[in-house]
């Protein structure tokens, strides 16, 4: 199989999908968040469980997130990088994410995001999503 370079169309499609996903998170539109995620996706997340398999587990992870996110949360992407070729796309970004801890105090996190897309039946679908935060010494 020959390797073809990423096309500007692939890159722009992936960038649009990621930006739409982030916007859906801010608007709390769960069906829009899930829209481009494969049924068999694998999620590595910050709060437990650290590994979730499948779209139903991914859907449940948002309940945990929105309890923390509250009504005045922040979810902003920066430093988005996209690489794509032969029906696979790999993205990295940083997320400025803020919500409330158990005491109600505002808590801000710098979250690292890695997303892997696979083109299935002509559609880009998330097959792996990874959120992480730097460890604190």
What is the model's pTM? 0.88
Apex 17 CA angle, 11 and 19, nearest 5? 100
DSSP structure class, residue 134: -
Question: Would 51 be classed as within a structural domain?
Answer: yes
Question: Would 2 be classed as within a structural domain?
Answer: no
Which residue's entry shows tokens 């979250």?
Answer: 111
Q: What is the pLDDT of residues 48-104, one digit of tens each?
A: 999 999 999 999 999 999 999 988 789 999 999 999 988 999 999 999 999 987 787
Tokens representing 66 are: 């929105």
Looking at the chain, the whole-number percentage of residues with pLDDT higher than 90 is 76
Q: Could you tell me the pLDDT band of residue 4, with boundaries at 50, 70 and 90? A: very low
| Pairwise CA distance, residues 133 & 16, whole Å | 24
| Pairwise CA distance, residues 12 & 18, whole Å | 10
Which residue's entry shows tokens 């068999």?
Answer: 40
| Pairwise CA distance, residues 91 & 11, whole Å | 10
**Residue 104, domain extent:** 8-132
Question: Would 112 be classed as within a structural domain?
Answer: yes
Question: Would 137 be classed as within a structural domain?
Answer: no
Question: Would 93 be classed as within a structural domain?
Answer: yes
Question: Would 3 be classed as within a structural domain?
Answer: no
Question: Would 19 be classed as within a structural domain?
Answer: yes
Tally of domains within the chain: 1
Question: Would 1 be classed as within a structural domain?
Answer: no
Tokens representing 93 are: 């970004």
Q: Could you tell me the pLDDT band of residue 6, with boundaries at 50, 70 and 90? A: very low
Given a cut of 70, whether residue 26 has pLDDT beyond it is yes
- What residues form DSSP beta bridges with 111? 95
CATH code of 61's domain: 3.10.450.50
Instruction: Give residue 56's pLDDT.
Output: 97
DSSP structure class, residue 121: T
Contacts of 122 by beta carbon, 8 Å cutoff, 6+ apart:
none
DSSP one-letter string for 43-92: EE-SSSPSEEESHHHHHHHHHHHHHHH-SS-EEEEEEEEEEEETTEEEEE
């Amino acid at each position: 199989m020959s390797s073809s370079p990423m096309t500007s169309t692939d890159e722009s499609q992936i960038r649009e999908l990621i930006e739409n996903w982030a916007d859906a998170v801010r608007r709390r539109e769960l069906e829009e968040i899930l829209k481009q995620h494969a049924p068999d996706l694998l999620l590595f997340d910050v709060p437990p469980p650290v590994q979730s398999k499948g779209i139903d587990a991914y859907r449940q992870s948002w309940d945990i997130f929105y309890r923390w996110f509250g009504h005045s949360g922040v979810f902003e992407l920066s430093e988005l990088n996209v690489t794509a070729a032969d029906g696979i796309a790999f993205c990295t970004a940083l997320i400025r994410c803020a919500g409330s801890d158990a005491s109600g105090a505002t808590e801000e996190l710098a979250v690292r995001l890695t997303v892997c897309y696979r083109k299935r039946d002509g559609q880009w679908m998330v097959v792996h999503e990874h959120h992480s935060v730097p460890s604190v010494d």
